[in-house]
Amino acid sequence: MDRFSRLEFGDTRPKGPLDAGLQIRDADFFVQEARRYWLAGDFELALRAFSRALEQDRTRLEGWAGQVLMLIELGEYKEAEVWAARALDLFPDHPDLLALRAIALARDAKLKQALVCSDKAIAAEKTTSWAWLARAEVFMHKSQAVVTGCISKAIAIAAGDLPIIRLYAGMILRRIEAYVEASKYLQEVVTAVPAAALAWYELAICQQALGLPQAQVSLQQALRINPHFAPAKKAMSRLKRGGRLS
């Protein structure tokens, strides 16, 4: 049975941290847990937690959007697209869901379809930061100025999720090797959310690419937060051998 089959709401209860404590386990609880796991770089547990949020409240937008985003993080682009389409049945033309579908399509090399979704997200009456982040993803093959322009617009309209928007912006910039600009956003994330192992890991990649000795310190910090963070463990091993992290 593949991951897609296991995403039905009644069959995604992970064992361990999600079942600990006496806090009321409503949709809010699982959304917050999911974000904590995502920032720690544990995309599987984050996916399950977003799914459990939808068990509690099937109409919770953050649950749908988060589930799609975690599938993208896990490289399951076709599944992410399918779940984005399902979510859009409940929230027609919502810019966040259109944006995430655009990202999944772009990652799956379906750029024409991705651009259509991105156009719809940008044209929404109340566009969102994710709409502009998706635009940056779709236009990654264009100039750095185009990508950074989209990211600047995403940051400008971000509200309560500013650290998450900055993190994703930094990840996009790191992928196009704009390491100085990426480091700026990622440094802001780890300052605001010191427990974000994913941001420390991304920052370490940028620091090493820039020849900065802080890369090892950042990786150590990521592993202190999440000792099981496999990409950070592999990166530390490569760093000790003198290899590049990215």
Vertex 177 angle, CA 62 and 42, to 5°: 35
According to the model, what pLDDT value does residue 10 have? 37
The Cα 71–Cα 12 span in angstroms is: 14
How many alpha carbons fall within 13 Å on the CB side of residue 79? 18
Q: How far is CA 182 from CA 54, 118, 200, 232, 241, in A?
A: 33, 22, 12, 18, 25
Please give the radius of gyration of the chain, using alpha carbons only, rounded to the nearest integer: 18
Residue 185 DSSP label = H
Overall domain count for the chain: 1
In a domain, 172, yes or no: no
Tokens, residue 41: 């770089």
According to the model, what pLDDT value does residue 2 have? 42
Q: What is the pLDDT of residues 58-76, one digit of tens each?
A: 999 999 999 999 999 999 9
In a domain, 49, yes or no: yes
Biggest alpha carbon distance in the chain? Answer: 51
In a domain, 5, yes or no: yes
- Low pLDDT (below 50) residues in the chain: 1-19
In a domain, 17, yes or no: yes
According to the model, what pLDDT value does residue 239 have? 82
Look up the domain containing 70 and give its range: 1-75
Residue 21 DSSP label = S
According to the model, what pLDDT value does residue 243 have? 60
Instruction: Round the average pLDDT of the chain to a whole number and report it.
Output: 90
According to the model, what pLDDT value does residue 99 have? 98
In a domain, 166, yes or no: no
In a domain, 180, yes or no: no
According to the model, what pLDDT value does residue 22 have? 53
CATH number at residue 44: 1.25.40
* Share in percent of the chain as helix, strand, coil (round to 5): 70, 0, 30
In a domain, 6, yes or no: yes
Q: How far is CA 115 from CA 70, 79, 138, 237, in A?
A: 21, 19, 7, 38
| CB contact set of 191 (below 8 Å; sequence gap of 6+) | none
In a domain, 44, yes or no: yes
According to the model, what pLDDT value does residue 24 have? 77
